Chains A and B, each alone.
Chain A
Amino acid sequence: MSLTYLDAIREAQAHALRDDPRVFIYGQDVGEFGGAFKVTRNLAREFPGRVVDAPISEDAIVGLAVGAAIEGLRPIVEMQFADFSSVGFNQIVNQAATLFWRTTVPCPITVRLPFGGTSGGGPFHSQSPEAIYAHYPGIIVVTPATVEDAYAMLLEAVAIDDPVIFCEHKLLYRHLKAEKLPTEALPIGKARIAREGRDLTVVAYSAMVQDALEAAAGLATEGWEIEVVDLRSIKPLDTDTVIASVARTGRLLCVGEAWPWGGVTAEVVARVMTEGFGLLDAPPQRLNAKDTPVPFHPNLWAAHRPTVRSIAAAARKLLRK
């Protein structure tokens, strides 16, 4: 039997619903229809009354989840696309993220954001808003890059007493497969060395980990040993693992699918510069999407975001420095 990234998220939700009566799912089309991507397929039937269709009201969807969390429940919210979370932004960053700090009442909500680009998605179905949420205090932001992490981190997210933004990459939904679900996993907050190497560190997260691994495999045929660090969660950010890797390689390339201004890659570079400057043999580099909305046409889309090719090219350039 083989399981996809999407299956893993569905199974994690089924597991959470089965194990914990406080869990329920709320979002657009998540009920009988099973969600726009079918991530909640059959869950409404398996768990009557606990997988609930919401009106197209992202603000009120998150607001309802916060209220339910105050009452001790553990809601999972599905945003149909991460892009639409901008409409629920106020409730996420001002209501959910501040609740514990203001009142000592925890806010254990998990907001699932199907994010990242797919060819043909266009400017409003392709965004990667993870850094915006990470910017706000009081929020955990996770970005699983593997089937195993998608499962284990969603289960952990639901158990965490703070709001978690769960960024699930739409490109990985059906492409990424595993043989079985994990029985144990690294905890949220710990990065993972996805590939060991000694010449250069590529730090990536979510779908870019897969592209970075492919680029590293290609560079290996040229004689380069590339280390790939999968951040797993961008907040908290496991600076220790990144710096330990840079200590081994002396070179850092940080790759993200989000826009170039600020963001995760800038944060990683800033931390390495301030905490590990002496470890660097060359200026650290960043590779991001272009600074435009995400285009629709496959030719433009493929050139907008980092690719296996552009990651390999950036790595080669950095290796020559």
Chain B
Amino acid sequence: MSKKKIRVVHYINQFFAQIGGEEKANILPLMKKGPVGPGLLLQKLFNGEAEIIATAICGDSYFAENIEEASKKLISLITPYKPDALIAGPAFSAGRYGMACGAICKAVKQKLNIPTLTAMHPENPGVESYRKYTYILPTTTSAKGFKEVAPILSSFCLKLCQSGEIGFPEEEGYIPQGFRVNVWANKRGAARAVEMLVHKIKGEEFKTELPMPKFDRVSPAPAIKDLSKAVIALVTTGGIVPKGNPDRLEAHNASKYLKYNIAKVTDLKSGEYETAHGGYDPVYANDDPDRILPLDAARELEKEGIIGKLFDYYYVTVGNTTAVASAERFGKSIGEELKKAGVNGVILTST
């Protein structure tokens, strides 16, 4: 019995579809039956195991300016073909085309739940934006490298559809998606550490297991000119919540931040507030929650006119083994809320 051929839809832009250059970059999504342009070589390389049943085409400018609409329209055009997989590009170093390839791969993966893959130069902005959502194979900067990447693209597509299991980037050749995955090493960590050190001292080659990420540096906001007219808010990562933790703020790796009204509160009393934080000795915080969230001191400053007004709500989360990505999200969202509410400054306390 012959194996069923894998049905592939191929996405390309107006240029590779031989419709036109920049002057045609605004064309709307359309479909053509069978392979077009670079798809012809891919089709050949599939060697009968897969077939490009249709080619989806869209102008680069139109896609870049209407990402959501273009994706939606393309999905409605692609769906009737009942594809098993989608290949987009390669986009090489073309920025708008790379973004389009990434976006259509993400949309098709999410809506049709079929494997998707694309290829582009590692510095194409499409990589940073979409690598988490699809597989991206690296290419040269220009289309001259198509002959080299085409066989990799076609065999990766077959593997993705046939086995469904894709190994790590080093073995499979795709650009890392950015997920750190737990695996079992052959040797324990201590043995690996000693081995790495010996190599490093001898000036031999070694490979770190955790490359240092680029750290975000947030430049401080300009100073408040007149504190006596400023609205100041209290924000803490120290987990101060009303007694009993009614909204169940997690003791570690917080999934959320909370805000509580303190318009009528002048002092955080033991027994009325407590800490939900699991990363420090709670005895002193529970004894006097003002030690973490300095409400009593802030009210005094307000009374003395040193600050204009204390904001009616305080914000709280737990900074205990909380992923940096979550912390960044909370920070942005709290900042936006405070800005909207006309708050001029924040006292941020950590533990």
| Chain A complexes with chain B | no
